[in-house]
Amino acid sequence: MKTTQFIIFFSVVLLVYFSVNYYIYVRGIQAIPVNSSYRMIYRILFFFLASSFVISRFAERIIINPATESLVWLGGIWLGAMLYFFLFIVVFDILRLGNHFFNFFPSFLTDDYPKIKLIAFLGVNAAVIIILTAGYLNAIRPNIKEISINIDKKAGNITSLKIAMASDIHLGTMISNGRLAKLVNEINSMNPDIILLAGDVVDESIEPIIKYNIGENLRKFRSKYGVYAITGNHEYIGGVEKAVKYCEEHGMTFLRDKSILIDSAFFLVGREDRDMSRFAGRKRKPLPELLNGLDKNLPIIVMNHQPFELAEAVENGVDLHLSGHTHHGQLWPLNFITKAVYEISWGYKKTGNTNFYVSSGYGTWGPPFRTGNTPEILLFKVKFRD
């Protein structure tokens, strides 16, 4: 990403982040009695939590130790808590504004207003803790989803193909060897013919992956045709060349604007992430160029991390188009935003002869929670023309 663009982008993000935190802080401190000693505790704790996410983003790139690991976890947890604190407070403020004009609050809410504010403060904290606990338990229990697809083309000497797919693993401090081992075991138990990882294999920084020797678990994937991956925006955020080099040294093959003919039966095409231009200053190849020269009588499977420009796949005869990236919002109600932004935010759709699937992903980014959907591992059972 160009320096000027990065500075502008980072400045806007920080402005929004700290503005939301200030809004939460002010509403929180107003709920604590003026003479209470808890006000100082609240100030210190709030400042520490609110700054933990930003500090951890930089600290993790400098050194990996228990202190930075704890900061990463605290920062992620706070990011999720911040969303729900903000939503609760906005709802309360809308109700207060409505009451100012229409006076619909019952008297017991206004007779002892300081006490009611403190009760609301404690209640909101309890509610957020419950939401996040449920969201964490949901995030570590992926669904195994089987999808049957028919492709009306001959595929050499094979009539069927079992594809295991996962996207958005986000390997790093928070998604480490334990979660990866579970993914490897689940996929290997499917006995797939091929394993596809549709971007954001690595979270951002490669340092935790090297430190925890996560690559040894990557080596344990087993399939007939191997493990193929594509870049996602997070590989580019953290340093794409280092991430790809490490993963390929541990048994994976990255398709970077490249197509490959597998077993003389079908083509697998991997696209660079569309944010390549923003982070690396280079444009990825257009899909027609990637498909130029391929025998379109054979099935064509495309991996494209971000599910944009889907019509292009239909126009160019793609049979199966696999994406991730959206997390389907990850945290409710952000799924409404991803639904508005993407033609497919999560799930299967067929347009013409092209089958699309956008995965909600396996891991999480930032907050280690999922409240708007469930994580998943996919098994596609593809049937070709006999």
For position 323, which CATH number holds?
3.60.21.10
The answer to whether residues 272 and 284 touch, using CB atoms and an 8 Å cutoff, is yes
pLDDT for position 384: 97
Domain boundary among 74, 109, 138: 138
Check whether residue 345 and residue 202 sit in a common domain.
yes
Check whether residue 85 and residue 192 sit in a common domain.
no
The answer to whether residues 365 and 170 touch, using CB atoms and an 8 Å cutoff, is yes
Check whether residue 131 and residue 159 sit in a common domain.
no
pLDDT for position 62: 84
Check whether residue 222 and residue 126 sit in a common domain.
no
Check whether residue 153 and residue 123 sit in a common domain.
no
Domain boundary among 91, 109, 138: 138
Could you tell me whether strands 376-384 and 227-229 are parallel, antiparallel, or unpaired per DSSP bridges?
A: unpaired
pLDDT for position 6: 65
Which whole-number Å values give the CA distances from 260 to 115, 244, 255, 300, in the listed order? 67, 18, 8, 10
**Residue 101 structural domain:** 3-138
Check whether residue 307 and residue 160 sit in a common domain.
yes
Check whether residue 122 and residue 53 sit in a common domain.
yes
pLDDT for position 25: 97
Check whether residue 127 and residue 203 sit in a common domain.
no
Consecutive 10-residue averages of pLDDT for the chain (386 residues): 67 90 96 91 95 88 88 96 97 92 85 88 96 98 97 96 98 95 98 97 92 95 97 93 96 97 97 90 93 96 97 97 97 97 97 97 97 96 95
Tokens of 277: 């231009």
Domain boundary among 93, 111, 138: 138
Number of domains the chain is built from: 2
Tokens of 329: 């919002």
Check whether residue 222 and residue 96 sit in a common domain.
no
Sign, CA dihedral 74-78-79-84, equals positive
Nearest to 171 by CA among 137, 208, 144: 208
Check whether residue 353 and residue 239 sit in a common domain.
yes
Check whether residue 256 and residue 351 sit in a common domain.
yes
